Structure 1
């Protein structure tokens, strides 16, 4: 116990100082990168070692791969190389020169990073790539995009390099984001390239394109790859297998696979089985969809045409009847009715047009969607009663309760919003009046009085909003928490009925 306490106490985080480039020259990343007995614990978890006396070498100009389970220390190595943290013990020399002797920003300018979830900013593609090197020319940016296999798809976009990627890059696919991030990294012309599982979140098609770009980018450049899909690092010059913050195996792909009991071989075989099962499932599903493709298309098209036609016709006829009856009622009004400002000819004609159309929008195509939803719910409950009336009854009662909770929540929020808007409107009117008559306010010296009135109104708004948040949070907690409890109850009852042979296993699985 004393040894463990002594070990954890010795791994205290060290301060990283950003020196000016003049005080400490930039480091040369053309040599070997070495982890020499490095230990590290994150400041938030000082008693848990993320790395334990780690020793490894990444040769210059070669591809070094780090593999292992989640939490084994692979990404921690990248964080230390980027100097987000300082090693608790040990050294990380590059070509014999310690990383602590260099300027952090100058070091990071020589390192290109592509992560699993690339971060792009809500600006143009051009600017996102240019962030890699702010002084780069347009030609250099386009060349980096070509190296990353991104130039072709960028040129197909409507705004090309001036396309806005959107908040959280919603306008781009996963593969497109990865290629832009790779182009940004290559624009630095980095001596060291760090790839942290860059293809693990991509589908097969995107993975192939990104992997081709990565292989071209790694040629002749010192590269450290963290990989989940082992097929992507089979060409690595050296592979390190991590476990519990240390290395348990190392070698090339061929030597590690040749060992019968190696951890790397077990991981490789498990991924091959998983990939084979996924491919079989995709092929079977593809054949089934292809066989029924034409029938499905015709059925969906016919049902949609009938649905929209029927509800549009019924909505148009309803609008016609409403307008006729409304006009008939107008003709029965006294002349004094039309003398009112809101009942002049233009206003009356506008109401006849707009209000009838509003009813048509509600009862036209939208009514079809509402009917479709109720039909789906009805069919689902009918099918559920056929397989298990008890489980369906529980679900039906739960649905009624959730409907009532949602209904009362909406009514409660509507009342609070109306009250809040009224109070806020008074505060806005008071502020506008004060600003408009500032000379009079200062003349009367009533600033404190008016400020107190405004503060009281704002505090009332805060109180109303706070109550709204508390009630909404409580109801949302009930809503989402009850779903988990419902699922637990359904599984529990299904298991009891299975035990008493009151329901078939396939029926229970189909229902749940």
Structure 2
């Protein structure tokens, strides 16, 4: 199958649409059965309130979307479904007027019969003389009383009412049977067409997002894009489903067009890999006033390694992004083999580029599949060979499931170094012509770094390799070193040539030599690798030790808590209790509903009276009574207007308030959960976002306006039944015989819909997880050209809810049509039995009409209630899920206010006999009889191999987990007895992978202390201490500059320094540093390290570092191995021992 430039097949998004704003985006869509043959286009309108950042991006007026455009995702089969459903809807809509026509015929029959005596030339005085005593015949009562008299001698003939009514009843029965057929076709076919289109919209929307230019994500929040895959599409679903069929009982007709797009590009047979940047100028779309490249010009030759060096923010990483066409330059040329990169087929180009970045992104699947993302047709041998080249094979084979081990969300189950090595293997397995290395070995320990560097050196042979590195020792063998400053090349040449020139590069090398930079220690522990900002923004939340079998499962406590389901009062009642603040609205809303429901049977009574008026022989009396009933109609209409308004208004307020309250509480409860909760696969980011977006609003299917409608229908049915029994109990009993069928149909709808809703929930959460993961890591997805993989995976996960929705459409269509048809059957029985009762003189036509109208309005109420059963079922299912979440009691409540607050906190920490294993891996012992004492105001450094437990200690100190046994004493107080909020407020943390929020720089720094209002002066002082102030004030918006999602508008060093400023703003008593300066250039590292050294004074500081030069001044250095301290002491003391620490220091030398 031919592929497009974005790695998707030829039905994907045309490049013309890639530059359009998502507020008016045109998406191409394939046919479901024949994805390569047809396509169509639709414009998706943003229904959300935009942030200021989004408003800035939307410079052109938004284009409104026509309603018919919503159907442009329909293919031929969908159109056929909708045509048949529309014809059925028209027939179904015609059934009701036809029923009224039959009703009119029946009315004429009874009325003509009753009015006949008025015009008959009979002498009623004479006729009365042949009657028993007490019976007086008049034109008004002749029909009911004449059989009591002996009138056989008179030539009086009455029409065969019973025979005529039977004929009309047959018509009603036929219409009822027809209603079953057309009602089913209307609901089922429109629902099937809707589900098919909605599935395609979800797929195409994700496909379109994945194929957008990377610059698009700089100005659009990924959270908003993820929400559009859930809540927005759900709203679209409501607008094109069976509700359209209901509307098409009055309106019909639409036409869908399919647009075929197949963007192509150059695909060379032999790509050499010569790279040229010529006078390139570039700015990021979100910061058009800040130039990044300013006439950048250089070349990278095939078969050689070119290194890019320079300070943070000089534009090195931007070069790699331009090569991958995440962005296009403002001017100038970026070319490969003398062909501009924008002329190549985009997917083909990216498939020939291998990249290893400083922050590796792994997906929530097995190690084998993560490596295979580099080359989807890679064999097992090729995968293992790539892993061996990346020095990852040995640790993989030590895992219980080896290459089939699940890495967790964002690779959470692996350490940073292990993730990096798998990322390197992923790049190597595709055997790329161009290799881009952005600090590729930064997360590796000394030994792994040496082996992997050798592997990368070998892999670079015969390829064009571009390297970005802060540690200049890793690039001394590069064929060409290019020094970039402020977006321009200031020097280039070999290492020796540049050293001889004694220019900028010479100064950088000397700065590192002066600082005596040692090699990195072992790679960081898995626990300390933070996820990038798109996902969970909690620190140290879901990273753990390696050597884990994912199948080990949960502990018993976690297992039981996750399986626990809500078993209290009915979810409906529980939701109403949460609506208690709006009780006054609900009470008056209920009163309005009861009045509104009672008004409708009153209409039936008046209508019956009006029909009966035509039996009055006196025309003046007729006109008088008709006028009276018309006035009553007007009065009831005004009353209904008032009650309807208050019913809708009051319940809308209560329903929306409940939704807002639920969303807030769900989010609050999620934040209260302990870290172990988020470690569970089912509680991944995508699933939680899906729950938050959909379940809170789904509850309105059983609350809010739905309550009003149901209560109105109950009132309607109740009042109608009472009136019907009063005026014709026998006829009412006959009608009640049909009620059980309606109830059974409604129950089946509710039961079956609830079952479908529960199964759909899990499947949609899994699909949402995949979509969020792909969107959040769009750069990595684009680097690997795996848009098609995530597109296919998302489509696969949508299959289960799609198939369920098809079943649901047929079931609901059958039950809905059956419920609707019962009304026809009931009327046929009513008129037949009523005509017989009239002939017997036991009832009047007026009573029949009154009973019929009361039953009719009641039946309509039952039908309306039954039609709400799918929404009600979804609401009950969502309510159970929400209440189950509310019931979960975390072992560590993040928002708890309980516990002691120490008035005089010195910072003395003691870990005593600690045993620990992670809750979701109880068989893997991480810390074993661990003991460590940290004196106040001292700096302790933790070093050791990956998986030795360094980061676990950090997480225990943050109180993310409780130790299995042992104690953590804080100033001789058990950590478990301290107030959690107070304790964490005493800690400042800086990690290797900084987490920044999609907000301004000022806000990101101020987030370091939310307990008070932070002045701009304090923020600036913290920024100065982190050596970031000068950079910030050079920006057009200075401290109000938005950093973008995941801080994408900043370089790695800039993000790191803002994270350091954020830690310093709270003036913590305890400082936790995890490679806090690893992403900085030499000069920034020196200044920031001095700032951190200064900040450490008067504080208890715990440092995890790979560069031993950053910890040699620590008061105590502890070397960890397999969960225990095997060596501790000062830097010189440990070197003198010539044991573990000495070997680490000597490895680099």
Q: TM-score, normalised by structure 2?
A: 0.26
What corresponds to 1:213 in structure 2?
Answer: 455
Deviation at 1:489, TM superposition (A): 9.4
Whether 1:242 aligns to 2:484 is yes
What corresponds to 2:236 in structure 1?
Answer: none
Deviation at 1:82, TM superposition (A): 0.8
What corresponds to 1:224 in structure 2?
Answer: 466
Matches within 5 A, 1:60-459: 60-260=302-502, 262-276=503-517, 427=702, 435-436=750-751, 444-445=859-860, 446=862, 448=864, 451=868
**Matches of 1:72 and 1:271, distance apart in 2:** 19
* Cα 1:94/1:478, change in 2 over 3 Å: closer
Deviation at 1:40, TM superposition (A): 1.4
Contact preservation (8 Å) 1:14, 1:87: no
**Matches of 1:177 and 1:119, distance apart in 2:** 8
Deviation at 1:77, TM superposition (A): 0.8
Matches within 5 A, 1:21-40: 24-26=266-268, 28-40=270-282
**Matches of 2:281 and 2:391, distance apart in 1:** 38
Deviation at 1:224, TM superposition (A): 0.5
Matches within 5 A, 1:432-511: 435-436=750-751, 444-445=859-860, 446=862, 448=864, 451=868, 480-482=1009-1011, 509=1098
Show structure 2 runs of 5+ residues with no match. Answer: 1-212, 217-260, 522-667, 674-694, 711-745, 753-814, 823-858, 887-893, 898-980, 982-1005, 1019-1063, 1069-1093, 1102-1149
CA deviations over 1:281-302 (Å, ceiling 9, x no partner): xxxxxxxxxxxxxxxxxxxxxx
SS in 1 for 2:1098: helix
Contact preservation (8 Å) 1:121, 1:165: yes
Contact preservation (8 Å) 2:273, 2:434: no
Deviation at 1:426, TM superposition (A): 11
Contact preservation (8 Å) 1:147, 1:216: no
Deviation at 1:236, TM superposition (A): 0.3
**Matches of 2:215 and 2:1009, distance apart in 1:** 43
CA deviations over 1:314-351 (Å, ceiling 9, x no partner): xxxxxxxxxxxxxxxxxxxxxxxxxxxxxxxxxxxxxx
Contact preservation (8 Å) 2:478, 2:495: yes
* Cα 1:158/1:266, change in 2 over 3 Å: same
* Cα 1:27/1:226, change in 2 over 3 Å: farther
* Cα 1:38/1:279, change in 2 over 3 Å: closer
Deviation at 1:231, TM superposition (A): 0.9
Contact preservation (8 Å) 1:195, 1:226: yes
What corresponds to 2:42 in structure 1?
Answer: none
SS in 2 for 1:224: strand
Whether 1:56 aligns to 2:298 is yes
**Matches of 2:486 and 2:1007, distance apart in 1:** 40
**Matches of 1:192 and 1:481, distance apart in 2:** 46
Aligned length: 339
Contact preservation (8 Å) 2:384, 2:393: yes
* Cα 1:30/1:19, change in 2 over 3 Å: farther
Deviation at 1:174, TM superposition (A): 2.0
CA deviations over 1:56-98 (Å, ceiling 9, x no partner): 0101100000011111111111111111122221122323333
**Matches of 2:1099 and 2:1008, distance apart in 1:** 24
Contact preservation (8 Å) 1:26, 1:103: no
Higher Rg: 2
Contact preservation (8 Å) 2:356, 2:424: yes
SS in 2 for 1:83: coil
**Matches of 2:437 and 2:370, distance apart in 1:** 18
SS in 2 for 1:54: strand
* Cα 1:129/1:44, change in 2 over 3 Å: same
* Cα 1:508/1:479, change in 2 over 3 Å: closer
**Matches of 2:421 and 2:1065, distance apart in 1:** 43
**Matches of 2:397 and 2:493, distance apart in 1:** 42
Contact preservation (8 Å) 1:29, 1:191: yes
SS in 2 for 1:92: strand
Contact preservation (8 Å) 1:113, 1:195: yes
**Matches of 2:267 and 2:1096, distance apart in 1:** 71
Contact preservation (8 Å) 1:27, 1:107: no
**Matches of 2:312 and 2:363, distance apart in 1:** 28
* Cα 1:510/1:169, change in 2 over 3 Å: closer
**Matches of 2:436 and 2:516, distance apart in 1:** 26
Show structure 1 runs of 5+ residues with no match. Answer: 1-12, 281-408, 415-419, 492-504
Deviation at 1:447, TM superposition (A): 5.4
* Cα 1:484/1:210, change in 2 over 3 Å: farther
SS in 2 for 1:113: strand
Deviation at 1:213, TM superposition (A): 2.4
The structure with higher relative contact order (CA 8 Å, sep 6+) is 2
**Matches of 2:380 and 2:505, distance apart in 1:** 44
**Matches of 1:236 and 1:144, distance apart in 2:** 23
**Matches of 1:128 and 1:488, distance apart in 2:** 39
* Cα 1:259/1:19, change in 2 over 3 Å: farther
* Cα 1:221/1:511, change in 2 over 3 Å: closer
Contact preservation (8 Å) 2:273, 2:433: no
Deviation at 1:161, TM superposition (A): 1.1
**Matches of 2:481 and 2:379, distance apart in 1:** 37
Please report the RMSD computed on the Cα atoms of aligned residues, expressed in angstroms. 4.8
* Cα 1:425/1:62, change in 2 over 3 Å: closer
SS in 1 for 2:428: helix
**Matches of 2:392 and 2:1066, distance apart in 1:** 50
**Matches of 2:466 and 2:1008, distance apart in 1:** 46
Deviation at 1:279, TM superposition (A): 8.9
**Matches of 1:246 and 1:214, distance apart in 2:** 27
* Cα 1:270/1:426, change in 2 over 3 Å: same
* Cα 1:159/1:482, change in 2 over 3 Å: same
SS in 2 for 1:164: coil
> Which is richer in helix?
1
**Matches of 1:43 and 1:73, distance apart in 2:** 15
Contact preservation (8 Å) 2:280, 2:293: yes
Contact preservation (8 Å) 2:441, 2:452: yes
* Cα 1:146/1:277, change in 2 over 3 Å: closer
Contact preservation (8 Å) 1:14, 1:86: no
Contact preservation (8 Å) 1:114, 1:194: yes
**Matches of 2:463 and 2:313, distance apart in 1:** 27
Contact preservation (8 Å) 2:278, 2:298: yes
